[in-house]
Amino acid sequence: MFAAGAAAVLLAAPAAAQGRIDERRATPATGTVQVHNLAGSVRVVGWDRNEVHVTGTLGRGAERVEVQNEGGRLVVRVVNPPSQRGNRRRVEVQGTDLEVRVPDRKRVDVHTVSAEVEVRRVEGEVEAHSVSGGVAVTGSPRAVRAQSRSGEVRVDARTGSVRASSVSGEVSVAGTVGGRVEAQSVSGGVSVTAASQGVKVESVSGTVEVSSAAGRAEVQTVSGDIALTGRRLEGALRSVSGSVVLRGDVGRGGVEIESHSGDVELQLARSTSATVEMTTFSGGLENDFAGARITRASRREYRVVLGGGDARVRVTTFSGDVKLSGR
């Protein structure tokens, strides 16, 4: 086992001279390239060669960059020096900046702690994880999974599906997504402007804005405000104290809105043909939609018919007010 470990080290690239990194490996067009770098930055760029080319600057104190095959993957790893045996003091290591050119059909998997991550022009799946660094993905990857605990996560791509999350950083998803967008945050805001077949967003206190979703939008927050904008809107929007704004018109699948204390605004196109059913315990209804026909089904239930009343909007609040207007 020790011999195998030693062999792996011997096969690794030698320490980069004067901090400059320039390593090349021939590699098949497909498969996985994995990149590990604690601090600094990682930029992965797809190209049309069956070769991985690693360039950049080794951070002061960092030992070397390894480029080696591990279990069928090509792994690029920044190696920091071990401390002296038996001495647990921390080694001062500066961040390393890496640019990794990969065959564009490769699957790319990047892991960092504080290093910023950028992935461009990759057509295989992209997976990028950072603790505090930002993550940005562009191009036409098959699918994207991007995650940071405190960094910003940005995806602007033509892709099959997106899963993006951050705990405290902002999350944004733009471009065109053939399938579904899933995004999560705790306190960071979430913006989804990508055209997609469906959106699911969960946030605790972050504001959520979704537009251009062609399919259902499912959004849930506790205190974060929610805004859903677009044509033929469908889905379910749910908050405890956050406000909910619906802008556009409603598709045949209808929209369900729930808010405990947050206000709900329906800014609907004047051509909208929908029936709005509203249930509230103590909230009020304000109507500025010309031509709306309002009836009251019970002490707590209203029914508002717009146009032919075709689509269905169901609004439930405990104390939140509901405002209806035309746009």
Partner 1 sequence: MSHEETIELLDDYVSGELPEGERAEVEAHLHECGACREEAAALTALLAEAAALPRGIAPPRDLWAGIEARISPAAATQPAGEDDFKVIPFRPRPRWRPPQWVTAMAASVVLVVGSSLATMRFMGPRTPDGPAATLPQVVAAPPAQAGTPTAFAAFSPAEADYRQAIAELQAVLDARRAQLAPETVRTLEANLAIIDQAIRESRAALAADPDSRELTQMLSSVYDTKVQMLQKAVEL
Q: Give the footprint of partner 1 on this chain (CB under 8 A).
A: 1-6, 8-9, 38-39, 63, 66, 77, 79-83, 85-86, 88, 90-91, 93, 113-114, 149-150, 167-168, 184, 186-187, 202, 204-205, 220, 222-223, 238, 240-241, 258, 260-261, 277, 279, 281, 295-301, 303, 316, 318-319
d(CA 119, CA 132): 17
Q: Which is nearer to partner 1, 92 or 271 (CB)?
A: 92
d(CA 50, CA 28): 6
Q: Which is nearer to partner 1, 185 or 272 (CB)?
A: 185
Closest contact distance (angstroms) between CB of 313 and partner 1 is 12
Closest contact distance (angstroms) between CB of 72 and partner 1 is 14
Phi-psi region of 149 (alpha: psi -120 to 50; beta: other; left: phi over 0): alpha
Yes or no: say if 200 and 177 are a contact pair by the CB < 8 Å rule. no
Closest contact distance (angstroms) between CB of 70 and partner 1 is 10
Yes or no: say if 98 and 43 are a contact pair by the CB < 8 Å rule. yes
Closest contact distance (angstroms) between CB of 279 and partner 1 is 5
Closest contact distance (angstroms) between CB of 237 and partner 1 is 13
Q: Between vectors from CA 137 to CA 20 and to CA 235, what angle results, nearest 5°?
A: 165
Q: Which is nearer to partner 1, 158 or 260 (CB)?
A: 260
Which of 223, 214, 302 has its CA nearest to residue 266?
A: 302
Q: Which is nearer to partner 1, 90 or 252 (CB)?
A: 90
- Tokens coding 10: 């011997």
d(CA 229, CA 246): 6
- Tokens coding 132: 């505090």
The full length of the chain comes to 327
Taking the CA of residue 244 as centre, how many other CA atoms within 13 Å lie in the half-sphere pointing to its CB? 31
Q: Which is nearer to partner 1, 140 or 279 (CB)?
A: 279
Q: Which is nearer to partner 1, 139 or 206 (CB)?
A: 206
Closest contact distance (angstroms) between CB of 210 and partner 1 is 19
Q: Which is nearer to partner 1, 45 or 131 (CB)?
A: 131
Closest contact distance (angstroms) between CB of 86 and partner 1 is 5
Which of 303, 259, 314 has its CA nearest to residue 281?
A: 259
The identity of residue 201, as a single letter, is V
The number of beta carbons lying within 10 Å of the beta carbon of residue 5 is: 9
Closest contact distance (angstroms) between CB of 305 and partner 1 is 9
Q: Which is nearer to partner 1, 38 or 100 (CB)?
A: 38
According to DSSP, the residues that pair with 173 across neighbouring strands are 155, 192
